[in-house]
Structure 1
Amino acid sequence: MAVSTCIKCSSHSFELALLRPIGESRKLTLVQCSQYGTPVGVLDPATGPHIEALKNQVAAIDERLNRIAKALQG
């Protein structure tokens, strides 16, 4: 598996920081090098709850499929 590396200092440590872009009312989460603050990505905090909801739905579907598979085997 590849290891993420800062392009400025070759560090492998990253942190999240809140950022309000100029002219925007909401904040974004910036992924940055923990040593130099070099940005490597931006996350929209509003997507977090949506991703969690999707993960829960997938887990529920998986559980139902497992029950169906067991019923068909028995």
Structure 2
Amino acid sequence: MARYAPFNAIALLVGSQVGRPGVLTQCSLEEATELKLGMLGHTCYAETISVYGTERCLPMAMTPRGRKASSPPPTPRAA
């Protein structure tokens, strides 16, 4: 994964120059590496879990493996 980090950085740089509203960019290399190291047992804490749509189930899956995970609080839905 890390060998593609420079290409990802260039893509984010180029993408940030395009003024298109509503577009989010995120470098997922750090997130993926952190998650992989945690699942292999090399770390015991994942700083963030930003795999969108898995905020509720991913920390529950990591807990039995002895991993602590903090995810952002859920976004309140409009009534």
Q: State the TM-score, normalized to the length of structure 2.
A: 0.27
Q: Point out the structure with max Rg over C-alpha.
A: 1
Q: Decide which structure has greater helix share.
A: 2
Bigger RCO of structures 1 and 2 (CA < 8 A, at least 6 apart): 2
Q: Decide which structure has greater strand share.
A: 1
